[in-house]
Structure 1
Amino acid sequence: MADPDRALTDVVIDDARWEAAGLTAISARAAEATLRHLDIDPSAFEIAVLGCDDTRISGLNADFRDKSQATNVLSWPSEERAAPAPGATPTPPSDMDAELGDIAISYDTCAAEALAQGKSLADHTTHLMVHGVLHLLGYDHIRDEDATLMETTEVQILGKLGIASPY
């Protein structure tokens, strides 16, 4: 059952620059917009978010993906929700799956990408958080059909938030 007093995102700030960047508010806004777009009640779910730097995310990437390099965002769904058929919509979580999973985002990589792409840090962070939440919900971009679905969904969500397509 939905708990209206529970926060959708539980943000841990490991790099103080995320505090100034407003990661807590950005994460909540992006997660809520993503779930609402998919007709999922945000008050029924929780997402843990870690705002870190390149050093921390490099270690996480090495530990969980065997890639010892920094990346912008990582996600760990609490359970597998991917659709069996390429391009199909993933199975939505049930109210029994209150914890959707965890997301880590690196300030260094995110800020560098935003600068290189001529985007505001807030808009780029919002995009990466939407991307991460979609991963928690079973969306992926490995197969072409899945990538098309995920990117289309991201663009729709970002559009509702007044953010231009990142693609």
Structure 2
Amino acid sequence: MKDIATHLTSYAAYHRDRRNVATHLVGIPMIVLAIQILLSRPTLWESGSWMLTPATIVSALAALFYLRLDRPLGLLMTLLLALGLAASQNFAVLETSQWLSWGIGLFVVGWVFQFVGHYFEGRKPAFVDDIMGLAIGPLFVVAEVVFMLGAKRQLHDAIEANFTSDKS
């Protein structure tokens, strides 16, 4: 399995324009939440207020993947995925038309943000060349925010060392 720096460096190669990164900060969380909403039905098993749904399974697998790559970022991703699951349960109880409208609506709008960003970038999305880009995208967004806050400097510097000083 590739390490986190390799994954994020590969993904960052498609995301050098700050406008593209900014659209991803909005679009990717919308897409992740949309997927959690759309997978929040059916309930496979329930115990009290906890529900096992396809969203729970996919989110747990994603969390395990992120935790294997980097413990601190993986814990943050796990927390964010858990918050998304909690939110998705609120959508799951809506009438089917409302549930689908929210899920599909967020998904489409999130992808519009993505494609606008890649228009600015002048480059296709990372997942076109490597399907892993779909799994790394949410981690990239969280890592970018963490980097903006001044944390994980060593990881940030390892990623940026792969690119020229010419930044958009």
- TM-score, normalising length from structure 1? 0.28
Whose Rg is larger? 2
Higher relative contact order (CA 8 A, sep 6+): 2
- TM-score, normalising length from structure 2? 0.28
User: Which protein is richer in strand relative to its size?
Assistant: 1
User: Which protein is richer in helix relative to its size?
Assistant: 2
